[in-house]
Structure 1
Amino acid sequence: MKLKTLCLSCVAALALSAAATTASAHDAPADDAGAAKANPFTATEVARFNEPWAMTFLPNGRLLVTEKRGVLKVLTIGGSAQTITGVPAVAYGGQGGFGDVILHPQFATNSLIYISYAERGTTSGTAGATVARAKLNLTSSGGSLSNLQVLWRQPKLSGSNHYGHRLAFGPDHKLWITSSERQKFDPAQDLNSPLGKVIRLNDDGSVPTDNPFYNRGGVAATVWSYGHRNLLGIAFDAQNKLWIHEMGPKGGDELNLIERGSNYGWPLVSQGDHYDGTPIPRHNTRPDLNAPEAWWNPVIAPAGFVIYSGTRFPNWAGSGLIGGLASQALVRVKFNGNTAAEAERYPMGKRIREVEQGPNGDVWLLEDGTNARLLRLTPL
């Protein structure tokens, strides 16, 4: 159990000013006092997309990109983006729509991809996150999805925010899903609800018998950790440790080392407060709950996350790279064993939705919103 927390806004202030945000949202752009410091890379525009959310590279170097309205595109670097048909209907609106896309660990032989999206319920105004897998059939003009199979669903609830649904395959070849709490608060503490949880499944959607609450059955059997808010970044480091960042309320964005069966405290504790100003007890008041390794106050509004393993940026080796929405920045986090702290912040002038490492070690960013740029970062 972790007891120590690190205030990243204090650490970052020694090097450069943290981005200031409004009290009400992760949607407000921040002033960037670090803009005078030159970024150690060149950012080159490669393509543009309409409300992109996620991307992943194929073994042949092409790039899959999801767009929130329910479009999957494949981009040949140096060429045009083409549409993949067969994407299921999505519940678009608010934070809902088409979400993540990742490859099966044996994609080269089975052509399976995994996607997440907000799915409409039968009751008007309800939706829930859904995860499915399908076979990707590429052609010279784009391609299609076939044999789509839904593996996991959130319950259908009112509201259009806090779906989460970031995906990753771990070194154990298990499927990891972030399931946010849909702004419903208390279900994050209920093991019989999938909201506010990190979910762990086999690649076919069945439940691993070594999950911490497997013997309880039902939803609890799928849970790896709980007490989370809005989880929008997931990555494994070189030591196979799982790190996840999540948006806080009014302040208190978190970076957490995920431990088996652990409770991360939401909504009982937080490093931020409710948007109406109502205080929330801090993590240090509940040492029985798992505290973040690092947090941001003011917020950065984290989105997208990769732990860099390439050689193109030697100074970034082993670092976490986080996209900042409100902070309009690429945020680099340095790890030291089981601790973490912000090392640098690179102003980008736009909200950054997604971060990915390219096949040769370049870093790729997707801006947020309409007419958003896909940027390739190369070292100076």
Structure 2
Amino acid sequence: MWTGNGGSFDLVLDPNFGTNGFLYVFYTANAPLRDTVSRFTASGNAAVPGSEVVIWQDTVAAGQFHHGGALEFGPDGRLYIATGDHFSASDAQSLTSYHGKILRLNADGSIPTDNPFFDGAGPNLDAIWALGLRNPYNISWDQPSGRLFIGDVGEASIEEVNLGAAGANYGWPICEGNCSQTGMTNPIFSYPHAGRDAAVTGGFVYRGTQFPASYMGSYFYGDYVRNWIRRLTLDGSGNVNGDGAFWPEDGSLDGPWGDIVDMVQGPEGALYYTDVGISWEGQFRQGTIRRISFVSANQPPTIMQASASPQSGLPPLTVTFSATATDPENNPLTFLWVFGDGVTSNQPNTAHTYAAAGPYTARLTVSDGTNQTFSSPFFITVGNPPTATIQAPLNGATFRAGDVIPYSGSATDPDEVLTAANFSWTILFHHDTHVHPAGGPFTGTTSGTLTIAPTGHSYQGNTRYEIVLTVTDSTGLQNTVSVFVFPEKVNLSLDTNPSGLTLQIDGISRPTPFVLDTLINFQHSISAPNQTLGGTQYQFSSWSDGGTQTHTITVPAVNQSYTATYQAVPPPAPSDFGVAYGFEEGTGTTTADASASGNTANLFGPTWVIGRYGNGLSFDGVDDRARAALSFTLGPAFSLLAWVNNPSNSAFESILTVGSSRNFYLSNGTLAFYNGTTDLLFGSALPNSGWQHVALVYDGSTLQAYLNGTPVGAPQTVTLGAVTGALQIGAWINNANNNTDFFNGLLDEVRIYNRALSQTEIQNAMNAAVLP
């Protein structure tokens, strides 16, 4: 028997079942260990031996949990298959994995070429129709509207009801519930966990007439963990406009309504649902099928009291059954006791003797001739049941990932000798208030082992394993005992520097800081993706444990902190410059222009030094300069930018010039501009030590200077036309075409734009190097 949530999941009949007898089953195969959808041919109430045809099979081994497992034929005649993420969350976003998807196939297993990701011989798995799901174990087509409803179980915060669409991405594990990221399809309805666990069970749209007309078109859905059924009302466009309690009517949680995992509309219009019966009100019981129907004029009887005493003893055992009931319309009532051994009684108060040892289930039915009411079952034990004992492990034992926990038991029976054939073991994984099957039943053995995998279902929250032993004697009497084993956990504190960015744990995004309570020796994948927050881009720099950007950690035996350090990435500088010199060569007598024009500058004297970004140039204030090989046309609008380190504060020091009539310079350390006739000054002197960013912007009417990205000095209104002339850095070209007013200091990152930059663009440019 497969361990975990594997096994048989769903069965659906072919649309032409009446003529071809085909039915389809989603199950986990053992060899190979794969989730599989197979077609069988029915004959009567059984499948014809040897009739199995595999329609689809996963390409990788099945995980222990989160298989999805739903099947539905759509109005297009195609077979739709829902798959879970198998606790590998990132698979849900991959087009090369079947996990976390809705698949669409032809009934014979071939793939429709109009599937949204179909690429033939390409890398995509062509059967994928939609993606980004976690564990959609129930889907349903509403044939009249042509809508596919998908219930998807959330991880930590939100349960979803989604509407199927070709090519849709429902967001897992990037987000749960509504997602602001572009390209995601939001659920039509969701509800929060609100501090406790939950697991949505997708249902169906009601199209029957047995319920009142107000129920027509409502979508019923349930919750496996919270033990209720609710209904959504939809408008004419399919939008949710109401959510109300259905069963129980007061909407209360955790009642005796079963572990609801499936629901359908019956042919007569009643609602049928499946209680999987893993842990029924804290007791081990068989699963049940339950029916809810609407009663209007005639109300069913009310059983006021029903009892059976004694409910255990040696044979022959005489049990007294008694009951009282009333009817709202005072109709005459009939009683029927079914004793479970083939004998019945129509008396409300009666006695019945059980002659043979064994377990029996007795139940009362009361009828008013129109409607019936059933009592809860009475479980009668006749004879001496066996006594089971779990010898190992001890109740309360602990474990770590990688441990192999041996379990063993013994049993006695006063009436017979028991053997291993009488033993059956089941492993349950408890997570908060709900339960996952984790193994078994394993029969015919008095011992076994439970291996704690280092990956898979997390151990966050209130988690533990229950090892259950059931011993059954030859009369069918049973004794069930269990022990709990608990995880040894530590707290991992995860954060980013700066704090507040998002990290991924096992593919699931979580904002920092957060604490992960997890199992010692368990393995987690931690990832620090590059991201944007508040308009700032952040690039991963390092992990505190020295790991790569995405790496696997093994949980230590003590609390541990992991911090991912990021660097803020400056916004890109405007790249539409006329010329741009980054001075990155570090050697030689030329420097390259990063613009499309490739206007290389020749160096006459300046020496290579460490610049503001990378390398820069040092000018001696005597005769050093750099001149572009080609003439340059400036304006009419323009922006002139450079990094300067000028300790001299001389009267005239040219930063850059175009011809003789456009000169950007420093006058005793103050930003200045010569327009061919007038010298214009802006603000006060620059600091005479350290790098300073300077800029001058002309928008066609006004000149404005900037120091370190901030306006400096009063704006000046002037009229400037475009000019063409020699482009020179570090010296002015005067009217006689002589070089003068040499710069004394360091220059780097010289840029010219033939447009007016905004202040933000200037700041972006000053924070980014010129790239070759």
Fold agreement, TM-score > 0.5 = yes
Give 2:175's aligned residue: 269
Q: 1:250 aligns with which of 156, 160, 165?
A: 156
Q: Does 1:294 align with 2:294?
A: no
Asked if 1:113 corresponds to 2:23, the answer is yes
Task: For 1:256, give the aligned amino acid.
Answer: N
Counterpart in 1 of 2:141? 236
Match of 1:8 in 2: none
* 1:55-95 per-position Cα deviation (integer Å, ceiling 9, x unaligned): xxxxxxxxxxxxxxxxxxxxxxxxxxxxxxxxxxxx53321
Hey, what's the Cα distance between the residues in 2 that align with 1:188 and 1:111? Answer: 34
Aligned to 2:273: 365
Tell whether the 8 Å contact from 1:138 to 1:144 is kept in structure 2 after alignment. Answer: no
For residue 110 of structure 1, report the CA deviation from its aligned partner. 0.5
TM-score of the two chains, using structure 1 as the length reference: 0.68
* Secondary structure at 1:188 match in 2: helix
The residue aligned with 2:636 is: none
Q: Which has the larger displacement, 340-349 or 161-170?
A: 340-349
Name the aligned partner's letter for residue 289 of structure 2.
L
SS of the counterpart of 2:52? strand
Match of residue 81, structure 2, among 161, 167, 177: 177
Aligned residue number for residue 359 of structure 2: none
Query: Distance between the aligned counterparts of 2:175 and 2:49, measured in 1?
Result: 42
Q: How does 1:100-179 map to 2 (within 5 A)?
A: 100-122=10-32, 127-138=33-44, 144-157=48-61, 159-179=63-83
Tell me how far apart the structure 2 counterparts of residues 290 and 145 of structure 1 sit (CA, whole Å): 43
Instruction: Report the CA distance between 1:363 and its aligned residue.
Output: 1.2
In structure 1, distance between residues paired with 2:49 and 2:88: 33
Does residue 111 of structure 2 align to residue 207 of structure 1? yes
Q: Which amino acid aligns with 2:267?
A: P
**Preserved contact between residue 232 and residue 246 of structure 1 (Cα < 8 Å):** yes
* Matched letter for residue 236 of structure 1: W
Corresponding position: 1:310 with 2:208: yes
> Do 2:147 and 2:164's aligned partners in 1 also have CA atoms closer than 8 Å?
yes
Q: 1:227, 1:263 within 8 Å by CA — same for their partners in 2?
A: yes
User: Relative to 1, partners in 2 of residues 1:158 and 1:137: Cα closer, same or farther, differing over 3 Å?
Assistant: closer
Residue 18 of structure 2 aligns to a residue whose secondary structure is helix
Deviation at 1:173, TM superposition (A): 0.7
How far 1:231 sits from its partner (Å)?
A: 0.4
- Once the 2 structures are TM-superposed, how far is the Cα of residue 354 of structure 1 from its aligned partner? 1.4
| CA deviation string 1:341-361 (max 9, x = no partner) | 523242362211211111111
* Counterpart code for 2:286: N
Partner of 1:335: 234
The question of whether the paired residues in 2 share the 8 Å contact of 1:121 and 1:156 is answered with no
Q: Is the 8 A contact 2:41 2:47 kept in 1?
A: no
Q: Which amino acid aligns with 1:343?
A: G
Maintained 8 Å contact 1:232/1:302: no
Range that drifts further, 207-216 or 98-107 = 207-216
Give the partner amino acid of 1:252. Answer: I
Distance (whole Å) between structure 2 residues aligned to residue 334 and residue 226 of structure 1: 26
In structure 2, distance between residues paired with 1:220 and 1:143? 30
AA of the residue aligned to 1:286: Q
* Overall identity of the aligned pairs, in %: 30
Given the superposition, is the C-alpha separation of residues 376 and 284 from structure 1 closer, same or farther in structure 2, using an over 3 Å criterion?
closer
- Cα separation, partners in 2 of 1:307 and 1:190, compared to 1, 3 Å: same
1:160 to 1:378, Cα distance in 2 relative to 1, 3 A: same
Match of 2:436 in 1: none
When structure 1 is superposed on structure 2, of 174-183 and 215-224 the one drifting more is 215-224
- Confirm whether residue 326 of structure 1 aligns to residue 191 of structure 2: no
Match of 2:7 in 1: 97
Q: Say if 2:69 and 2:138, in contact at 8 Å, map to a contact too.
A: no
Query: What per-residue deviation string (whole Å, max 9, x for no partner) do you get for residues 95-147 of structure 1?
Result: 1111101100000000100001112355xxxx4321000101116xx664541
Query: CA distance change for structure 1 residues 180 and 129 in 2, over 3 Å: closer, same or farther?
Result: same
Q: 1:133 to 1:356 in 2, by over 3 A?
A: same
> Which runs of 5 or more residues in structure 2 are unaligned?
249-254, 278-284, 296-772
CA distance in 2, matches of 1:203, 1:143: 18
1:235 CA drift (Å): 1.2
- SS for the counterpart of 2:51 is strand
1:309 alignment partner, SS class: coil
Instruction: Give 5+ residue unaligned stretches, structure 1.
Output: 1-90, 272-282
Cα distance, 1:263 vs. partner? 1.2
Q: Is the 8 A contact 1:246 1:302 kept in 2?
A: yes
Q: CA deviation at 1:155?
A: 3.0
What do residues 175-214 of structure 1 show as CA deviations (whole Å, max 9, x unaligned)? Answer: 0000111010111111111111100000000001111112
CA distance 1:93–1:132, shift in 2 (3 Å): same
Mapped to 2, the partners of 1:262 and 1:216 lie a distance apart of 20
Compare relative contact order (CA 8 Å, sep 6+) and give the higher one, 1 or 2.
Answer: 1
2:219 is matched by which residue type in structure 1?
G
- Aligned counterparts of 1:112 and 1:103: Cα–Cα separation in 2: 6
Deviations 1:1-42 (A, max 9, x none): xxxxxxxxxxxxxxxxxxxxxxxxxxxxxxxxxxxxxxxxxx
Structure 2: distance between partners of 1:176 and 1:183: 21
In 1: Cα distance, 2:101 partner to 2:167 partner: 10
Per-residue CA distance 1:317-346 (angstroms, 9 max, x = gap): 111222321110112122222422523242
Distance 1:222 1:202 in 2: 10
Structure 1 position 219, deviation (Å): 4.9
Structure-2 residue corresponding to 1:40? none
Deviations 1:226-269 (A, max 9, x none): 11111011112221011101100012111111111121111111
Q: Judge which range, 297-306 or 367-376, deviates more.
A: 297-306
Larger Rg: 2
Residue in structure 2 matched with residue 378 of structure 1 by the alignment: 293
Amino acid at match of 1:183: F
Distance 1:295 1:304, change over 3 A: closer
Matched positions, count:
273
Poorly superposed stretches of 4+, deviation over 4 Å: 142-146, 216-219
CA pair 287-339 structure 1, distance change in 2 beyond 3 A = farther
Alpha-carbon contact 2:150-2:202 (below 8 Å) kept: no
Paired residues of 1:137 and 1:145 also in contact (CA < 8 A) = no
Deviation (angstroms), 1:164: 0.7
Moved more, 231-240 or 110-119: 231-240
Q: What's the counterpart of residue 279 of structure 1?
A: none
Question: 1:156 is paired with a residue of what secondary structure?
Answer: coil
The 8 Å contact of residues 130 and 165 in structure 1, kept in 2 or not, is answered as: no
SS at match of 1:343: strand
**CA–CA distance in 2 between the matches of 1:128 and 1:327?**
31
Distance in 1 between residues matched to 2:11 and 2:3, nearest whole Å = 19
Contact 1:136–1:146 (8 Å) recurs in 2: no
Is the alpha carbon distance of 1:244 and 1:313 closer, same or farther for their aligned partners in structure 2, counting shifts above 3 Å? same
